[in-house]
Amino acid sequence: MASRAVELKNVGFETGGLWLLRGVSAEVDVGQTVAIIGPSGAGKSTLISLINLMRTPTEGEIWVLGQEVRAWPVRELRQRVGMVFQSPVIFPGSVRDNVLFGLELHRRPPRDVAELLQMVDLPAHLADHAAEDLSGGQKSRVALARTLAMEPDILLLDEVTAALDVHAKREVESTLLRLKRELGKTMLWVTHDLDQARRVADEVWFVAGGRLVERGTPAEIFNEPRSEALRSFLAEGGEVRS
């Protein structure tokens, strides 16, 4: 397998005459966790949505597991690159239905639901419960189990713990970290929670105004910010709006 999971080469995305992202170049190694931080409206969600072709780059190239995104058959790309959102997508029906939904959609054989629930630290007996009755943290983990059922190599996580209380947040976080440790998943993890970025990231990317302004280890980003933009973002506790 390629040692680079993702390589962005001068990537830009324009819509309606506006460049939401411009000149982004960076790479993510296989097994690495990158936390993406930055003000609201900076382009963080836009950036990760380009990696599984939810949106198509206007300029530049994105190489995913050794192949340019547009060269991948979309279905296969979305299998290799899974995405999880802030508000877990939950369908009417049982937890089992919800976990197996992606496999059905892709016409792949069902998998052992108990095993998938175990991967996200949920008890097997929940399989027959109505998914809509679960707690927020449990729903997040069901949505994660649905994504993991597809056996993605790369996970795109968009503020997956933002809607959770402190306890549920730490639980989902430790589930994700265990997946990284045990299964070597590569993660691009957008978060507004700077302490979370410190805890989970091998590398942090600071995005502001549609640019990748700085990248570095958590220590570099949080202790030795180089740009004025990052310094003021950190001084405001990450709450600055762009």
Ligand X SMILES: Nc1ncnc2c1ncn2[C@@H]1O[C@H](COP(=O)(O)OP(=O)(O)OP(=O)(O)O)[C@@H](O)[C@H]1O
Output 172 or 190, the one with its CB closest to ligand X.
190
CB 65 within 8 A of CB 154: yes
| Chain residues 2-41 in contact with ligand X, contact rule CB under 6 A | 15-16, 18, 20, 38, 40-41
Q: Is 161 in the site for Mg ion (CB under 5 A)?
A: no
Q: Is 156 in the site for ligand X (CB under 6 A)?
A: no
Binding region for ligand X (CB under 6 A) out of 44-52, 63-71, 119-127, 224-232: 44-52
In the bound complex, what is the minimum distance in angstroms from residue 190's beta carbon to Mg ion? 6
* Rounded-to-integer distance, Cα 98 and Cα 91, Å: 6
Q: Distance (Å, rounded) from C-alpha 207 to C-alpha 42?
A: 6
CA distance 168 to 187: 20
Among positions 46, 79, 147, 196, the unique one binding ligand X when judged by CB under 6 A: 46
What number of other Cβ atoms are within 10 A of residue 76's Cβ? 11
| Nearer to ligand X (CB atom), residue 40 or residue 223 | 40
79 is a contact residue toward Mg ion (CB under 5 A):
no
Type of residue at 219: A
Nearer to ligand X (CB atom), residue 96 or residue 192: 192
Token pair of 10 as six digits:
């001068």
Beta bridge mates, 20: none
Q: Name the nearest CA neighbour of 36 among 182, 163, 210, 175.
A: 210
**Minimum distance from residue 90 beta carbon to Mg ion (Å):** 20
Q: Report the interface residues with Mg ion, using CB under 5 A.
A: 45
Q: Report the interface residues with ligand X, using CB under 6 A.
A: 15-16, 18, 20, 38, 40-46
